[in-house]
Amino acid sequence: MTDFLWKFFSAVGFARPDNQKPDVTSGESVQLQGPTTWSGSENAAIHRLARVVFGLGEDEICKWPGYQIFIQHIRTQLHDTGSLWLEPAITRTVSTETTTPSFSEYLDFISDISELIQNSTTNNFSIDDLVDQLNKRQKGESLTPGSKESVVYRQALFCVLAWVTLLLDIPPAPSQRHFQAIFPDDIPHTQATRLLSDAQRPVHALFKSLCQRKLPDSSRNQTTHEADQWFGLIHVSSVSYSMLYEFGKVAIEWTTSMTCHLQFDASTRTLYLFRLPTYCALGCVHSSQDCVFDRLMQHYFDGSGERHNNVWLRYRQEVLLSYRILFGHDEKSRRMFRQLQKNDETTLSDPLLGHPFPAAPNNCLDGTKWLVDNGPRIFGHALVFIGGESAGANLALQTALGLLCSPAERYPRFNLQGLLLHYGAFSLHWQPGTRHFRRTPALVFHEEAMTRFRSAYLPGEDPASHTLPDVSPFYAELSGLHLPPLLITCGTEDCLLEDNVFMATRWMMASGQAVLHIFPGSPHGFILFPSDVHHNAQLALKDVCG
């Protein structure tokens, strides 16, 4: 850790810890790996934290299995640093000094501080302001400034602020790299008088001093600080990880500090990526009640009191987008990402990074329901068509059937104008035509490639699952549904030809209107071919665009 940061921690009450991790393995204290199910008191504390930190109710948080990863991260942090930095404060408030706090008591303490932030009557509150409010709330009295007890609360509050924003990591030992990698634009002077006043500084100013600049800024002068000779930011742009590795031999290291996301260490050729994107996703969907992150960082850009929630919303959205840009553009990058996941020894594996089934169809249906509910208000027009190609056609059809079968009456009644499905994989139990498809040379797609994709989509697959309607919409019950018109296109040189013909036939047998266009000589994906190379591409697009 840099000398400045340890001096700062000393000013707010931190001492250099021993290299040994605290022993908190007795009784109900925190373990590194949390249980798959929580006790009643732990569940209550977890839901309270979701409500306070993200503004999400119990029903909403149940839709986000990744929230458990955020809780697991808190649990891991408590294992590493809890008894060192937090336990002394908790034992003064919710427990006797001879009792090790339970996990639920740790979470309640974090929620107490988060509620103080939300309910603060001033916008420029400092750590000492929160310390005073917390002690008044717990004991009905103010603390003596500079007392040992106030120092205990200072260090606990700083830990909590770091954990609920995920902007900083609290290190268990001076060698922790995350703090070494932070080179702020406006670092405070190291004079003792300045350091001693840091606990009275507004929290947003404190974070601005300690954290890497949050938002991409192409105008940043990277020669201003000596540190920038080695550290910089790779901004979100049209790059992929395979390209970074091929041309720069860039390695990936996961970090739980959001402020280190996309930070590049040129000395080791290491790119740091935030490992908990669910935290950003939760911050994008919170209710009208302010989440703690926005309240803390409300004055980050200026002191005028102007709200900057949209700025932080865009920032969290850009963090989420960066994974797609790095790993989603080419097969090699996706393969390298899967290898990164296999080599990751930590227990913190965010579902948004793995995105296992049924995340894809669930997300498509959730997004479509949102468009049904909000399309006219946000975009000035209702949803008209749903479409997709190949695997996307599978998801598009599942999404439409999900609307038609929804228990909420407004979705089956919604007047969807049609489905546009191109060379779809509607049955993941391969049709005879798929199994017997042989071309030399292979044309774009064949059974072997499809089987690999199916295994990636359904990890640990059971062959019996291939005919489940949630996996293969070809097997869905269509009778009794108000089916929208359907357009299916496919080429004769596509191994999915039978799948598309059979799907259109089933649709018509269920009294739905279906148009099936078969293009002679066209392989899988032909719509994407240049029209001067494959004339049928232009003809197929005319079916859609007129």
Does 520 sit behind a cis peptide bond, omega within 30 degrees of 0 on the bond before it?
A: no
Indicate the DSSP class of residue 304.
Answer: S
Quick: pLDDT tens for 231-275. Answer: 555 544 447 888 888 888 889 988 888 888 888 888 899 999 998
Residues 352, 277: contact at Cβ < 8 Å? yes
Mean pLDDT of 327-337: 78
**Residue labelled with tokens 């959001």:** 258
Rounded distance, CA 307 to CA 174, Å? 36
Higher-confidence residue: 415 or 281?
Answer: 415
Confidence category of residue 453, pLDDT binned at 50, 70, 90: confident
pLDDT number for residue 509: 97
DSSP 3-state assignment of 30? coil
Q: How many whole angstroms separate alpha carbon 72 and alpha carbon 107? A: 12
**Kind and range of the H or E run holding 536:** helix 535-545
Q: Check: CB of residue 126 under 8 Å from CB of residue 203.
A: yes
pLDDT of residue 14: 40
Is pLDDT above 60 for 38?
Answer: yes
Q: Which two tokens stand for residue 249?
A: 């031999």
In the structure, what pLDDT confidence band is assigned to residue 308 with cuts at 50, 70 and 90? low
| Whether the predicted pLDDT of 505 surpasses 70 | yes
Domains and CATH numbers, the chain: 3-353 (no CATH), 356-545 (3.40.50.1820)
What is d(CA 21, CA 263) in angstroms, rounded to the nearest whole number? 27
Q: How confident is the model at residue 35 (pLDDT cuts 50, 70, 90)?
A: very low
pLDDT, the chain, mean: 76
What is the C-alpha separation between 429 and 437, in angstroms, rounded? 15
Q: What is the pLDDT of residues 191-230, one digit of tens each?
A: 334 444 667 778 877 777 766 544 434 334 444 444 444 4
**Residue 23: is its pLDDT beyond 90?**
no
DSSP-derived secondary structure letter, 85 = I
Residue type, 201: R
pLDDT at 183: 30
Question: Are the beta carbons of 109 and 94 closer than 8 angstroms?
Answer: yes
What single-letter amino acid sits at 194?
Answer: R
The predicted model scores a pTM of: 0.58
pLDDT band at 97 (very low <50, low <70, confident <90, very high): low
Tell me the average pLDDT across 428-443. 87
Other C-beta atoms lying within 10 Å of the C-beta of residue 441: 4
Torsion 450-456-460-461 (CA) sign: negative
Name which of 47, 18, 172 is nearest 107 in CA terms.
Answer: 47
pLDDT at 494: 94
> pLDDT tier at 526 (50, 70, 90 boundaries)?
very high
pLDDT at 135: 79
The pLDDT of residue 334 = 77
What pLDDT does residue 310 have? 65
Alpha carbons 174 and 6: distance in angstroms, whole number: 8
Nearest Cα to Cα of residue 476 among 315, 340, 361: 361
Percent of the chain with pLDDT strictly greater than 70? 74
Could you report how far apart the first and last alpha carbons of the chain are, in Å?
64
Tell me: pLDDT of 470 over 90: yes
Q: How confident is the model at residue 188 (pLDDT cuts 50, 70, 90)?
A: very low
3-state secondary structure of 268: coil
- Please state whether beta strands 514-523 and 486-493 pair in parallel, antiparallel, or not at all (unpaired): parallel
How many whole angstroms separate alpha carbon 518 and alpha carbon 514?
Answer: 13
